[in-house]
Amino acid sequence: VAELTYRDAVTRAIAQEMARDDTVVFIGEDVAAAGGVFKATPGLLETFGSRRVVDTPISEQAIIGAVMGAAMTGLRPIAEIMFSDFFGVCWDMIANQIAKARYMTAGQVALPLVIRTGNGAGLRFGAQHSQSVENWAMAIPGVKVVAPSTAEDVIGLFAAAVRDPDPVLFFEHKALYPVKYEVPDGEIVDALGTAKVLRRGGDATILALAAMVPRALAAADALESTGIEATVVDVRSLVPLDTQTILGEAAATGRVFTVEENPRLLGWGAEVVSIIAEECFWDLDGPIVRITTPHIPLPAADALEDLAIPSAELIAETIQKALR
């Protein structure tokens, strides 16, 4: 067991997979010599060399196009898009090209690739460097979508993503990079499409993702003193979606709350809630409640950003009110 930050876990995850398989290559802006703008990839260049760890120009279409072409022809490439907001300049490559290639060609083309990106708010970067866009990705048939909340999950889910035969978008949460976790030694490999139940309580089920997971856990702790026992589920993977776990935990308490960093309209919870409403409506004891960021571009000022993103206090308060 080692103490590891979430950002160190990213480095360890990439190194684990590159050491195992020499078809794994890694490209992106500032990822090699500089070790990443979030210092999530230091030392990889030194360990694996400049053929496998490659700095690119600021050319997101070229980066994503290149990993697509490389994946079609026998490599298992990893691309970094520095901020997930920058998906905006390469969605064509992701949504029109990568996501559709296998289906459109009736299975002729395989795309075992991973696009990892810094997602989410908390760094006071303002509206163009703070978004949570995993819900955009979730809306595109043909890509898998993962968002880990702990260092161990970073390693395990990243390994699963690299080994997966299909394209995976891997959303790392920027605000979690400096957070320390205990991580087991040795190789860690997890499974995509699996949610994790982090604690169980009989009164409410909280579904959360990425940086909202520690806040949901803090809220559950706070609720305990008011006599409310909450289950917390880390959804982890939006595509594939672990509906078995989600529906089971929803039915077990009958009261469901989602905690989403996405803006309100069509955040990932909207789809999850609709599945719950359709498939376990009669197990519910009250309305499902979504706790989200307001439907606004994110403000930069710390005072405003803190107001925008669901806090542990807001989560606890909302649940308490709903269960009253």
Closest approach of another protein to the CB of residue 213, in Å: 20
Shortest distance in whole angstroms from residue 112 CB to another protein = 8
SS (H, E, C) 308-320: HCCCHHHHHHHHH
DSSP 265: T
The nearest distance, CB 19 to another protein, in angstroms, is 17
| Contacts for 95 with CB less than 8 Å, ≥ 6 apart | 140, 143
Marked catalytic residue, from 29, 129, 172, 305: 129
Residue closer to another protein by CB (options 7, 76) is 76
CA 252 to chain centre: 25
Residue placing its CB nearer to another protein in the complex, 3 or 92:
92
One-letter amino acid of 24: V
- Is the Cβ–Cβ distance between 262 and 268 less than 8 Å? yes
CB-wise, 109 or 123, nearer to another protein?
109
**Tokens 């955009």, residue?**
136
Burial of 31 (0-12, 13-18, 19+ CB in 10 A): buried
For another protein, the closer CB: 70 or 81: 70
80 is catalytic: no
**Nearest to residue 293, comparing CAs of 277, 274, 315?**
315
Cα(164)–Cα(170) distance, integer angstroms: 12
Q: Residue 81: helix, strand or coil by DSSP?
A: strand
Neighbours of 110 (CB within 10 A): 16
Q: How far is the CB of 247 from another protein (least distance, A)?
A: 10
**Which contiguous run of DSSP H or E holds residue 282?**
none
Q: Left, alpha or beta for 268 (phi > 0: left; psi -120 to 50: alpha)?
A: alpha
Cβ 318 to another protein, closest distance in Å?
Answer: 27
Given the complex with another protein, which of 52 and 174 has the nearer CB atom?
52
Beta carbon of residue 91, minimum distance to another protein (angstroms, whole number): 11
CB 191, CB 310: distance < 8 Å: no
Q: Structure tokens of 212? A: 């909202």
Q: CA 62 to CA 277: how far, in whole Å? A: 42
Q: Measured from the CB atom, is 47 or 105 closer to another protein?
A: 105
| DSSP one-letter code for 92 | I
271 is catalytic: no
Nearest distance from C-beta of residue 34 to another protein, angstroms: 17
Chain residues binding another protein by CB under 8 A are 25, 51, 56-57, 59, 61-75, 77, 92-93, 96-97, 101-110, 112, 141-142, 164-166, 193, 239-244, 275
Nearer to another protein, 105 or 128 (CB): 105
Amino acid at the residue 154: V
Catalytic residue among 60, 80, 134, 305: 60
Task: Point out the residues that are catalytic.
Answer: 60, 129
